[in-house]
């Protein structure tokens, strides 16, 4: 997994490539914890480069969303059509947080 964290217009953007699963979720969680207290309360998780999300990856998204909501912040995810998006839609997580097709739409939401 590769993670790039940037701040664009007061929004923290986590761009992730690879698999979001049991083996890799700790890396994203660590980066989120490091940045959650220092860069405002608007977060875009650009997972358009993610190829696989398992149940542990889904649980991490839920946990990070709860943290952001508790800070009165905004949280959303960017996922392209495909295998990584399917688990999010099947579990109806898109009812918990917005899921966008592209980063531009996510920025408009913020």
Residues 7-45: tens digit of each pLDDT: 988 899 999 999 999 989 999 999 898 888 655 689 999
SS3 51: strand
In sequence order, the 6+-apart residues with CB closer than 8 A to the CB of 53 are 19, 20, 21, 47, 61, 84, 87, 88
Compute the C-alpha angle 77/70/14, nearest 5°: 30
Give me the domain span that covers residue 72.
Answer: 2-104
Closest C-alpha to 48, from 74, 6, 85, 96: 85
Q: How is residue 63 written in tokens?
A: 């946990």
Q: Is residue 110 part of a domain?
A: no
Q: Write down the pTM of the prediction.
A: 0.91
CATH number at residue 49: 3.30.750.24
Structurally, the chain folds into a number of domains equal to: 1
């Amino acid at each position: 997994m590769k993670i790039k964290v940037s701040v664009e217009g007061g929004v923290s953007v986590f761009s992730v490539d690879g698999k979001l699963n049991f083996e890799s979720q700790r890396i994203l969680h660590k980066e989120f914890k490091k940045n959650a207290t220092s860069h405002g309360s608007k977060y875009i998780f650009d997972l358009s480069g993610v190829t696989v999300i398992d149940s542990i990856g889904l649980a991490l998204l839920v946990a990070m969303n709860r943290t952001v909501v508790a800070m009165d912040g905004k949280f959303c995810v960017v996922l392209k059509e495909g295998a990584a998006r399917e688990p999010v839609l099947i579990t109806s997580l898109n009812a918990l947080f917005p899921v966008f097709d592209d980063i531009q739409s996510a920025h408009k939401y913020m």
